[in-house]
Amino acid sequence: MPKIFTYNKQEKLKSRKLLEELFAQGNSFVVHPIKVNFLLVENNTFKTSVQIGVGVSKRNFKKATDRNRIKRLIRESYRLHKLPLHQHIKSTNKQIAVFLLYIDKELPQLSTLQIKMPFIIEKLIKQIN
């Protein structure tokens, strides 16, 4: 039985070229405290249907431990709520690159992110259509 709530190496957005394209051409929207950039690409650009990256500004958080902590929390919440997005993308026969940027200036609680994440996924699906 394959796992559902995964977030492994193949699902991470890693290509430098693709990232540049994403920020140059992709669309974006904000669901406080997270800014979402995304770009639809042709099929077979990468192995999985969705690649997603996570980022925190060094300007807002000086300490590396804080940045690591936020990235971990975002990843954790994404991991638990990603299922609807994957199902939708598969039905459209395309692939998507997404980048989640944390823009607030204070450390978040995991519980608030857990509440926000479904809204983000929902909005993302709407924007794709």
Give the nearest distance from C-beta 50 to RNA in angstroms: 14
Question: What is the DSSP pairing of strand 34-41 with strand 95-102?
Answer: antiparallel
Give the nearest distance from C-beta 47 to RNA in angstroms: 8
Residue 98 C-beta-side C-alpha neighbours within 13 Å: 27
C-alpha separations of 57 from 35, 61, 71, 113, 124 in Å: 12, 7, 11, 17, 22
Residue 30 or residue 107: which is nearer to RNA going by CB?
107
Polymer length of the chain? 129
Q: Is 6 in the site for RNA (CB under 7 A)?
A: yes
Site residues (CB under 7 A) for RNA, limited to 43-102: 53-55, 62-65, 68, 71-73, 75-76, 79
Q: Is 110 in the site for RNA (CB under 7 A)?
A: yes
Give the nearest distance from C-beta 61 to RNA in angstroms: 9
| Strand spans (E) along the chain | 27-31, 34-41, 50-56, 95-102
Q: Is 3 in the site for RNA (CB under 7 A)?
A: yes
List residues binding RNA (CB under 7 A): 2-9, 12-17, 19, 53-55, 62-65, 68, 71-73, 75-76, 79, 110
